[in-house]
Structure 1
Amino acid sequence: MRLRRVNTGLGACETHTYAVKAYNAEGESAPGDPVTVTTAGCTGGGGTLPKHFLTGYWHNFVNAATELKLSAVPNEYDLVAIAFGEATATPGEVVFALDPGLATAVGGYTDAQFKADVQALHQRGKKVILSVGGEAGRVQVADSAAATRFADSVYALMRSYGFDGVDIDLENGLNATYMAQALRSLRSKAGADLIITMAPQTIDMQSTGMEYFKLALSIKDILTVVHTQFYNSGSMLGCDQAFAYGQGTVNFMTALACIQLESGLRPDQVALGLPAGPGAAGGGVVQPSLVNQALDCLAKRTSCGTFVPPRAYPDIRGAMTWSINWDASNNWSFSKTVKPHLQGMP
């Protein structure tokens, strides 16, 4: 005999987990495997992004990594985040311009050439977004006026350069309330295909009380993906709250991603952010093969370390790396290893 239960009164884009037990005169059975479902109404941007995709940051500045024109980004990358949009003296306002040092380093690069390269990436089926902030970024959205300026200025840059969305990478203060207001305003201007990503530091996603986590949950209905920086953080507690897992391990990536997966974000909104190789970060550099193991652990509960997640998340979104330039410096090891694995995931 089949029994059917209908839950009513659920909101749009809510995630719920169910486990079924059988009852008779002898008592109840053990619960079956949990099943997680999401209600309709999720409208997070992404358009033609693959089910599992690879994100990489492109440097608009010169450092020890290889300097590249945007046209040199290889096909392994599905989403390219331009680093970075910067603040002005006006709170909330974001500006972008090609760095003169970069232009010199790559043998000349004009604004027009950059815009043409954005369009060329579009023709290859790629998405390009503007990342706002970075380690030295000082973009501040702390009131309604700043939220309006943020939305207006980012939208103007999207129209000028052809960007498909925005990445929030603020490492020097974030107000969840007003940034949510800014992003919803931007969404109203740009439409349903707007891509919104976030790149919080590991500490920022340790609990739902942190501002980044509050922001992610408050815009869950329009959020594309959170690719937390699982590096430069030292040891951290995972979702089991039992151990401080060391960075640079499968346990670290899976146990910390589990916090987000078990605390309200959908699996398709969670990705793993890792350095592309030596030189890209001060700590947490991993072999790309370990990223693949972590993805399999989360998607299928196979290839895990000592930490095994409470359930499988087959819709885990993918991976991000800092950065495309550092990947180039390390013979493209990250993208050539991780992208084929993402393509092979169901």
Structure 2
Amino acid sequence: MAKAPKRAFVCNECGADYPRWQGQCSACHAWNTITEVRLAASPTVARNERLSGYAGSAGVSKVQKLSDISLEELPRFSTGFKEFDRVLGGGVVPGSAILIGGNPGAGKSTLLLQTLCKLAEQMKTLYVTGEESLQQVAMRAHRLGLPTANLNMLSETSIEQICLIAEEEQPKLMVIDSIQVMHMADIQSSPGSVAQVRETAAYLTRFAKTRGVAIVMVGHVTKDGSLAGPKVLEHCIDCSVLLDGDADSRFRTLRSHKNRFGAVNELGVFAMTEQGLREVSNPSAIFLSRGDEVTSGSSVMVVWEGTRPLQVEIQALVAHSMMAIPRRVAVGLDQSRRSLLLAVLLRPG
């Protein structure tokens, strides 16, 4: 008689485990985020196959002196977008696991499809789609006028099957679109659940390390704009980037929130066009007015985004107030921080 699977309670926000249900998570202090999940035994593939360490490492783990570790930099390859390369720290590192998130319609799939179509002319790539059909992806590529002759496509949601096919094809770069629809057969929960997202991301990361395949996983975001899924998802990957943009604007910003191979908070700017995403070589022009005349109430300052300085224009408007107590109103600046800065500026001496 088969044993009944063990049960546990997991926080949907941070992935903390609990033996019983409770209203508030003790780790992240979120309320009503703990749900019951069924725990399965270790996957058969994980028991029979070694998926740990880095590509090129020995089959058996051994202790090494820190001074004996090679300091040679890992070779990178370009994505074909200078802005994308900047955010990643100079290009894609073989064997790295990258997570890219963004609101629906931000252009995540478009950016990655353009990237793979460019790289497919130089190296072997694989685009795995689980949310869209192959026909939908082909129609988008045709609409954008992308070269599709060398790009390999796969429509699959089983992580075990995807990794088996990837081991046969041996691509240099693989895209998983998206991590929320992928599943493992040995995890007894629905796709998108905390357990599935955690285990599938960890399995893909181990596969990337052992096979030297760079894997880009597409992730969803929550209402507040943060990456959906347990926090352990961001811990197990090497790089986490977020593609953001307003619905009424054609500009998109790509920002790194975690990067083991480059600077954090690095910023890349793109513009959405009929031919897909295009790089913005001079982002400062977006934040500056077109007029060359010097006007009152307007000043230009330099802000630092990652390793890039940007020029930003600040405009101020002064008008007579009909209220008994006039107010200072600012857009995009915290009220308490604004009051503190004004107090420092107005202090004599």
Q: TM-score, normalised by structure 2?
A: 0.36
Bigger-Rg structure (1/2): 2
User: Relative to total residues, which structure has the larger helix share, 1 or 2?
Assistant: 1
Q: TM-score, normalised by structure 1?
A: 0.36
